[in-house]
Amino acid sequence: MLVDGFGRQISYVRVSVTDRCDFRCVYCMAENMVFLPKRDLLSLEELERLCDAFIQTGVRKIRLTGGEPLVRRGVMSLIQALGRRLGPVPGTLEELTLTTNGSQLERHAEGLVAAGVRRINVSLDTLRPGRFEAITRWGRFEQVMQGIAAARSAGLAIKINMVALKDVNEDEFDQMIAWCGAEGYDLTLIETMPLGDIDGDRTDQYLPLSLVRARLQQRWRLTDLDCSTGGPARYVRVEETGGRLGFITPMSHNFCESCNRVRVTCTGTMYMCLGQEDAIDLRTPLRGAEDNGPVVAAIEAGIGRKPKGHDFVIDRRRKRPALARHMSVTGG
């Protein structure tokens, strides 16, 4: 079992399988984003070994993310391999899941279910096609909607992730809650985080969810739910729809004391906190030996250094982002 210096048990790892993406969401990356050279990326076999090393240390939940995980060539073979690690006992995976923009879901939904994936997060910031294209720059709304429909038909439980953007989609929360309720999807609202350079100014996009929640309460009956996921999300039930609504508030609230997760980039760098620079290189021990001993030792050393929490600030006076790396590198 992995326990950090603050007594937190680390049972969850998010693995970015690529930094590349077929969208260019305005809050995530600049339109001319430069991606890592392919040779720096871990191969699919290396990613599988890395996940095995985490499972060996007691991790029971893996989320694949990116960039867009489903645009990595051959990713389904990795998903199938990890699916074979699913099981009910310690030493196996309790859950394998992913976060996706939905563009490739139509062709992969059945395969995901066959591999053992039971639920997925799909990012969807708006239900209006024109607005969708403005936010994602390169995304096609119909393709994503067909992907979501295919995922539902295949039997996947779906949670929609919606980044709350001031003056961009803040007039759509009611409609999104109603739509998710009708379709049977959970919904999570996310505050923008100051990660990586984008073309615009983040202070213009930031919308504190405390404000959003106060507004929503005038229209919907929201009942607090007592289900902690070990992350910065807090959940309520929307009584009118019966749906679950989450608020991810890393900026206005800090829930680091119950954090149970670490993140690994597609180059094998483990970040112990999304909001701090400290990291451990897992690629060198992974490539340096055939057995997983050295990489397991490196993971354990990194967990011992997991910081108490982050200190994000969105500050008009500070022109640079709080952290240089993009969310698409660390994995959302």
Nearer to ligand SF4, 28 or 165 (CB): 28
Cβ partners under 8 Å of residue 36, min gap 6: 19, 266, 267, 329
Using CB under 6 A, which of 115, 189, 195, 282 touches ligand SAM?
A: 195
Residue window 64-83: x/- pattern of binding to ligand SAM, with contact defined by CB under 6 A: -xx-x---------------
266 touching ligand SAM, by CB under 6 A? no
Nearer to ligand SF4, 97 or 292 (CB): 97
- SS3 breakdown of the chain: % helix, strand, coil, rounded to 5? 30, 20, 50
Q: Which stretch binds ligand SAM (CB under 6 A): 20-28, 108-116, 298-306, 308-316?
A: 20-28
* Distances 119 to 45, 78, 182, 201, 248 between C-alpha atoms, Å: 24, 17, 18, 34, 18
- Asked whether the beta carbons of 314 and 206 are under 8 A apart, the reply is yes
Q: Which residue has the tokens 């690629």?
A: 283
Q: Which stretch binds ligand SAM (CB under 6 A): 3-11, 96-104, 177-185, 294-302?
A: 96-104
Q: Tally helices (H) and strands (E) across the chain.
A: 10, 12
172 binds, among ligand SF4, ligand SAM, none (CB under 5 to 8 A by kind): none
209 binds, among ligand SF4, ligand SAM, none (CB under 5 to 8 A by kind): none
24 binds, among ligand SF4, ligand SAM, none (CB under 5 to 8 A by kind): ligand SF4
8 binds, among ligand SF4, ligand SAM, none (CB under 5 to 8 A by kind): none
- DSSP letters spanning 308-322: S-------TT--S-S
Binding site for ligand SF4 (CB under 6 A): 21, 23-25, 28-29, 66-68, 101, 123, 328
**Token digits of residue 299:** 């993971």
CA pair distance 109, 235, nearest whole angstrom: 26
Using CB under 6 A, which of 13, 21, 96, 164 touches ligand SAM?
A: 21
CA pair distance 172, 161, nearest whole angstrom: 13
- Residues near ligand SAM, by CB under 6 A: 21, 27-28, 65-66, 68, 99-101, 123, 161, 163, 190, 192-193, 195, 327-328, 332
